[in-house]
Chains A and B, each alone.
Chain A
Amino acid sequence: MRKKFIVVVLVPLLLLLILTYFFLDRWMEAGLEYAAEDFVGARVEIDQLSITYSPLGLRFTRLQVANPDDPWKNLFETGPVRFTMDASQLVRGKYIVETMEINDIILGTGRTTDGSLPGGRRPAPGPAGTPPFSALIQQVLEKSVEKTPLFDPALLRGQLNIDSLVRTQNFRTLTLIDTLRSGTTDASRGWDSTLASFEAGKKRLQEVETGIRAINPSELKTVDKIAAAITTVDDARKTVNDLTGTFNERQADLKGSLQKLSAAAGTIDESVGKDYRQVLSLARLPDVNAMGLAELLLGKQLLTKATMYSQWIDMARAEAAKYAPEPSMETPPRLRGQNIHFPVERGYPRYWIKNVKVSGGTDRQNPDFIYLTGTVRNVTSDQRVTGEPMTAELEGTRGSSMTMRIAALIDRRKDIPVDEYRAQATGIPLAAFELGKSDFLPAKITSALLGTNVTVTVPGSQFDATASLDFRNLRLEFNAEPRNLGERLARTVLSGVNGFDAGLRLWKKDAGVDVAFTTDLDDRFAGGIKAALGAELTKLQNEIRAKVEARIADKRREFEALYTRKRDEVQKQIDVYHNVIKEKTALLDGKKKELEARLEKEKKGALDNLMKGIFKK
């Protein structure tokens, strides 16, 4: 044994290990705080962290995470937190947390110290990607909700300049017609070359006809000559068949191309309809058939809330995407070798928290304190390995009357990620809830109980969100006297009820985000609008439609004339060539029959002569 080594190296190493054992808790605490601060962008404080060795794990008594936007408040703080890890997987560099308990989470508590980080240690913003849902909903909020229709017939007529409105619009139909026109011109070049090939075919058929007509069966005196003539007819028939086959193929191409153009031309009416509706919406004419009170009363408020909550969905999706498996890079330099993988009894991802038990809420001193409890399962770096989607289920109460339930499912097991979020709440007391808009029935709910049910499904880059709201024990306060027919009708409808149901649906289509609002009061409101404004509106709508169509008409006529002319030319040429083929085929068939009859006759004559010769002998 090398005593010097034991004294100089092993003994100090042992002392270092002992020292580490005693200080590891503090070092780990500092390291975790620093890493978390880098992630959050504000102070993170962990109290009394201790490492447990059997089973391997961590526990601490309190965690405070400061709010980076308001450093004198915490985003949240927790009570005791405890988790255990799978030590056998840790040596493989895999962090498998069997159970994590986070107790007494309290949101938004005050701080006694400043929670901002010195020297601007804030995380850099991530790279720009697809626009988040909150941004899409914000766009809808900006675009659709501020458009309040005009309800007053006098205002309708007075403020509406249909000519100017129609003149200044860039109609998509005009662009469509230009595209179709250039498409027809391009296609007609192809058709011309096909028709030119038909002409060449016609010449070839003419040559065949000349050759066949030159055969006169009555002049053919021997069987050999007749047989040779039949072979010539068969060859000609083969040529005609080849030309027919080519013709059929090209005819099918031509007809396909014509059908495509015809189908595209058929969308002009639909496009005119869209342009008309665009002008209609700019004219702010109310659509009496689909007049919804929900959009007017609740649209702005609901979309504002939806924008706020969608930021949470954005955050959940961003975090889930962050833990996507990294692509393996195959760059084996010298002395690196190749890793051979063997069957694993149980595959583990790099990171997997199997079960998180959470409980907590807001400050209990507050009589309206929120208390939530629930579990989050399968937070992992690779759901394809664990085979389990991430789920979260939280249930809670607020004060003594309100109950809530929140559930989420984040599934990354297939190529297209799917997220589902559900939230239910009952008995939400409303003391001050804004209704309407500055230009339509500004009002306030002074007292009501709200029940709500929200479901959001996010498959890939699409999404579909529905929310139902149930207002009961409703008391309303209107800020001003009604200024127009719409406000008067809405007020009449609302004053007769003490509650109503409202619905919101937001969904993403290829073209963008669409939104729809409903209430059980819509029919009554729409009926009133229809009775008061119906005739005047119909007249204005017809006028707008006529002017939109007139602006498009010239270009449309021009295109339709071009298309019809080209189509008829092509059809005519096809018919001519078809007839030529038919004619030549009939000629060939007739000639062949004639030759075969001649051959039969000649054969019979030769046989008779032979028999006569035999009997004479």
Chain B
Amino acid sequence: MFWLKIIKDFVAILREGQTPRQVAGGFMLGSIVGFSPVTTLQGLVVWLIILLFDVNLGAALLAFTLCGLCAYLLDPVFHLLGYQILTNIDALRPFWTMLYNAPVAPLTRFNNTVVMGSFVCALVLALPIYFGFKHLVIAYRKTIGARVEKMKIYQVIRHSGLVQWYLKLRDLGS
């Protein structure tokens, strides 16, 4: 039920409610924590930002789930990327050594290949995800939503028993 509520909220937010910037922001932040392993200091900070600022929580949770699944599949890529960053870039080596000896930095687990690789990927993808998602929300609200609702297949699915059951469930919350 929890996930259905999230999806309901998410679909609702695609159509109306919070601004596209809030939805895109939530999705972007959720993707950052989704890609990274959970037990890191930066993960905690990002969760605090999600919870503290008025970004869309449903979007963040959905991004966290989707990106978590992607992270499992992309683990070898993250490992390889992190390994290259940590070991093969000589210019960064003094910086890593300084962080390694700093008091709080080890809590970020930056010296772990998967943490480093996934975090760099998440940061690189953050802006494209933000702008892409923002564009999607705007487009959905302007044109795609209306077009989708006019499609025959949408009508069929919408009137199917399963979707009616879902709508009932959706309305339980309101």
The stretch that binds B, out of A260-268, A277-285, A334-342, A455-463, is: A334-342
Nearest to B102 among chain A residues (CB) is: A88
Q: How far is the CA of A2 from the CA of B114 in the complex (A)?
A: 32
**Shortest beta-carbon distance from A337 to chain B in Å:** 3
Which of A2, A335, A338, A343 touches B97 (beta carbons < 8 Å)? A343
Which of B93, B96, B115 touches A337 (beta carbons < 8 Å)? B115
CB-defined contacts of A344 to chain B, threshold 8 Å? 100-101
CB-defined contacts of A9 to chain B, threshold 8 Å? 51
Bitwise interface map of A from 509 to 526 toward B, beta carbon under 8 Å scored 1, else 0: 000000000000000000
Bitwise interface map of B from 23 to 44 toward A, beta carbon under 8 Å scored 1, else 0: 0000000000000010000000
The main secondary structure of chain A at its interface with chain B is: loop
CB–CB B52/A5 < 8 A: yes
Does B79 belong to the interface (CB within 8 Å)?
Answer: yes
Chain A interface extent, by class? 20 to 34
CB-defined contacts of A335 to chain B, threshold 8 Å? 37, 71-72, 75, 114
Does B53 belong to the interface (CB within 8 Å)?
Answer: yes
Does A6 belong to the interface (CB within 8 Å)?
Answer: yes
CB-defined contacts of A128 to chain B, threshold 8 Å? none
CB–CB A334/B107 < 8 A: no
CB-defined contacts of B107 to chain A, threshold 8 Å? 91
Which of B37, B78, B86, B104 touches A340 (beta carbons < 8 Å)? B86
Q: Which of A339-371 contact B (CB under 8 A)?
A: 339-345
Does B20 belong to the interface (CB within 8 Å)?
Answer: no
Does B17 belong to the interface (CB within 8 Å)?
Answer: no
CB–CB A337/B78 < 8 A: yes
Does A1 belong to the interface (CB within 8 Å)?
Answer: yes
**Shortest beta-carbon distance from A363 to chain B in Å:** 45
Nearest to A338 among chain B residues (CB) is: B113
Does B54 belong to the interface (CB within 8 Å)?
Answer: yes
Nearest to A93 among chain B residues (CB) is: B106
Q: How far is the CA of A335 from the CA of B37 in the complex (A)?
A: 7
CB-defined contacts of A143 to chain B, threshold 8 Å? none
Q: Which of B82-120 contact A (CB under 8 A)?
A: 82-83, 86-87, 93, 96-97, 100-101, 103-104, 106-107, 111-115, 117
Does A612 belong to the interface (CB within 8 Å)?
Answer: no
Nearest to B36 among chain A residues (CB) is: A335
Does A617 belong to the interface (CB within 8 Å)?
Answer: no
Q: How far is the CA of A6 from the CA of B52 in the complex (A)?
A: 7
Tally inter-chain residue pairs, CB-CB below 8 A: 65
Q: How far is the CA of A9 from the CA of B50 in the complex (A)?
A: 13
**Shortest beta-carbon distance from A585 to chain B in Å:** 69
CB-defined contacts of A334 to chain B, threshold 8 Å? 72, 75
CB–CB B114/A337 < 8 A: yes
Question: Are A340 and B52 also in contact (CB < 8 A) when A334-B75, A335-B37, A335-B72 are?
Answer: no
Which of B53, B93, B112 touches A1 (beta carbons < 8 Å)? B53
CB–CB B79/A338 < 8 A: yes
CB–CB B71/A1 < 8 A: no
Does A92 belong to the interface (CB within 8 Å)?
Answer: yes
Q: Which of A134-183 contact B (CB under 8 A)?
A: none
Which of A2, A338, A341 touches B51 (beta carbons < 8 Å)? A2
- Count of interface residues, chain B, beta-carbon cutoff 8 Å: 29
Q: How far is the CA of A9 from the CA of B51 in the complex (A)?
A: 9
CB–CB B97/A340 < 8 A: no
Nearest to B114 among chain A residues (CB) is: A337
Q: How far is the CA of A340 from the CA of B104 in the complex (A)?
A: 17
Q: How far is the CA of A338 from the CA of B78 in the complex (A)?
A: 11
Which of A2, A342, A343, A345 touches B52 (beta carbons < 8 Å)? A2
CB–CB B83/A2 < 8 A: no
Q: Which of A1-58 contact B (CB under 8 A)?
A: 1-2, 5-6, 9-10
Q: How far is the CA of A9 from the CA of B104 in the complex (A)?
A: 25
**Shortest beta-carbon distance from A141 to chain B in Å:** 54
Task: Among A1, A341, A342, find the residue whose CB has the most chain B CB atoms closer than 10 A.
Answer: A342
CB-defined contacts of A343 to chain B, threshold 8 Å? 97, 100
Q: How far is the CA of A88 from the CA of B82 in the complex (A)?
A: 26
CB–CB B83/A338 < 8 A: yes
Nearest to B98 among chain A residues (CB) is: A342
CB–CB A91/B103 < 8 A: yes
Nearest to A89 among chain B residues (CB) is: B103
CB-defined contacts of B86 to chain A, threshold 8 Å? 340
**Shortest beta-carbon distance from B115 to chain A in Å:** 6
CB-defined contacts of B54 to chain A, threshold 8 Å? 1-2
CB–CB B103/A88 < 8 A: yes
CB–CB A345/B75 < 8 A: no
Which of B78, B93, B111, B117 touches A341 (beta carbons < 8 Å)? B111
Bitwise interface map of A from 318 to 337 toward B, beta carbon under 8 Å scored 1, else 0: 00000000000000001111
Q: How far is the CA of A337 from the CA of B86 in the complex (A)?
A: 12
CB-defined contacts of A338 to chain B, threshold 8 Å? 79, 83, 112-114
Bitwise interface map of B from 117 to 142 toward A, beta carbon under 8 Å scored 1, else 0: 10000000000000000000000000
Q: Which of A78-125 contact B (CB under 8 A)?
A: 87-88, 91-92
Bitwise interface map of B from 62 to 79 toward A, beta carbon under 8 Å scored 1, else 0: 000000000110010011
**Shortest beta-carbon distance from B113 to chain A in Å:** 4
CB–CB A339/B112 < 8 A: yes
Q: How far is the CA of A343 from the CA of B111 in the complex (A)?
A: 12
**Shortest beta-carbon distance from A512 to chain B in Å:** 51
CB-defined contacts of A339 to chain B, threshold 8 Å? 111-113
CB-defined contacts of B75 to chain A, threshold 8 Å? 334-335
CB–CB B96/A91 < 8 A: no
Which of B37, B72, B78, B104 touches A91 (beta carbons < 8 Å)? B104
CB–CB A342/B100 < 8 A: yes
CB–CB A337/B100 < 8 A: no
**Shortest beta-carbon distance from B18 to chain A in Å:** 12
CB–CB A342/B97 < 8 A: yes
CB-defined contacts of B111 to chain A, threshold 8 Å? 339-342
Which of A5, A88, A336, A340 touches B87 (beta carbons < 8 Å)? A340
Question: Are A2 and B53 also in contact (CB < 8 A) when A91-B104, A335-B71 are?
Answer: yes
Q: How far is the CA of A9 from the CA of B47 in the complex (A)?
A: 13
Bitwise interface map of B from 126 to 163 toward A, beta carbon under 8 Å scored 1, else 0: 00000000000000000000000000000000000000
CB-defined contacts of B117 to chain A, threshold 8 Å? 337
Q: How far is the CA of A337 from the CA of B114 in the complex (A)?
A: 5
Q: How far is the CA of A87 from the CA of B103 in the complex (A)?
A: 8
**Shortest beta-carbon distance from B22 to chain A in Å:** 11
Q: How far is the CA of A338 from the CA of B79 in the complex (A)?
A: 8
Q: How far is the CA of A344 from the CA of B93 in the complex (A)?
A: 13
What are 28 A-to-B residue pairs whose CB atoms are below 8 Å?
A2-B51, A2-B53, A5-B51, A9-B51, A88-B103, A91-B104, A92-B106, A335-B37, A335-B71, A335-B75, A336-B112, A336-B114, A337-B37, A337-B82, A337-B117, A338-B113, A339-B113, A340-B83, A340-B86, A340-B112, A341-B100, A342-B93, A342-B97, A343-B97, A343-B100, A344-B100, A344-B101, A345-B101
Give 11 A-B pairs besides A335-B37, A338-B114 with Cβ atoms closer than 8 angstroms: A1-B53, A1-B54, A5-B51, A337-B113, A337-B114, A337-B115, A339-B112, A339-B113, A340-B96, A340-B113, A344-B100
